[in-house]
Amino acid sequence: MTLGLFYFFAFIAIAGALGMLLNTRNTVAGALSLVATMCALGAIYVLLDAYLIGALQIMVYAGAILVLFLFVVMLLNLRQDAFVGARFAKPLFWTLAAAALAAGFLALLPGAFGPPAEIPSDFGGYRAVGAELFTDYVLAFEVTSLLLLSAMIGAVILAKRKIDG
């Protein structure tokens, strides 16, 4: 059951990513298919016992980040885009090299890991993750607020029409 759900959401995730990658006519549709990918990944996080991360994935990625993308795409009224893959010197060679690397990666995977560890029942819930976040990782959490503040100031300055003085 869980495995079947995983395959279902994995299919949606890959299809959404392909939709974003191959859609050269309409960037809005590409952003929307990336929303499908993000939602499917949120479901996969829940299947992997990361409940808080799954909720945050849908709220932050599908809800905030991609809406921001959609805003900008619609604001700019973009013209068509094209692949430049044909401009690579030896596209066939690189495609084959990438396929060989991917096949090696996938072939080495089975048997590389033992059975999964036993986990407590509240693993990945907001209580357990929050307790760890505000004890062991509280410094990283505080630095995060600085990062967000500087990113906000940077975005405001960049998007201003004209910088005075």
Partner 1 sequence: MIPITHAVALSGILFLLGVLGALTRRNLIVILMSIELMLNAVNLALVAFARQWGNQAGQLFVLMVIVVAAAEVAVGLGIVLSLFRNRESVNVEDASLLKW
Q: Is the dihedral of CA 42, 43, 44, 45 positive or negative?
A: positive
140 counts as binding partner 1 under rule CB under 8 A? yes
Nearest approach in angstroms of CB 89 to partner 1 is 13
138 counts as binding partner 1 under rule CB under 8 A? no
132 counts as binding partner 1 under rule CB under 8 A? yes
Would you give the binding string for partner 1 spanning residues 57-96, x where CB under 8 A is met? x--xx--xx--xx--xx-xx-x--xxxxx-----------
Q: How many residues does the chain have?
A: 165
How many angstroms separate the most distant Cα atoms in the chain? 63
**Of 77, 35, 85, nearest to 58 (Cα)?**
35
Residue type, 88: F
26 counts as binding partner 1 under rule CB under 8 A? no
Binding test (CB under 8 A) with partner 1, winner from 25, 90, 92, 118: 118
Binding test (CB under 8 A) with partner 1, winner from 92, 121, 158, 165: 158
Q: Considering CB under 8 A, how many residues would be counted as binding partner 1?
A: 78
**How crowded is the C-beta side of 3, counted as CA atoms within 13 Å?**
0
Which of residues 79 and 165 has its CB atom nearest to partner 1 in the complex?
79
Binding test (CB under 8 A) with partner 1, winner from 24, 26, 96, 97: 24
Q: Is the dihedral of CA 85, 91, 94, 98 positive or negative?
A: positive
161 counts as binding partner 1 under rule CB under 8 A? yes
Which of residues 75 and 165 has its CB atom nearest to partner 1 in the complex?
75
Which of residues 93 and 150 has its CB atom nearest to partner 1 in the complex?
150
Nearest approach in angstroms of CB 161 to partner 1 is 7
**Of 98, 105, 121, nearest to 49 (Cα)?**
121
Taking the CB of residue 56, how many other CB atoms lie within 10 A of it?
16
Q: Report d(CA 40, CA 103) in Å as an integer.
A: 24
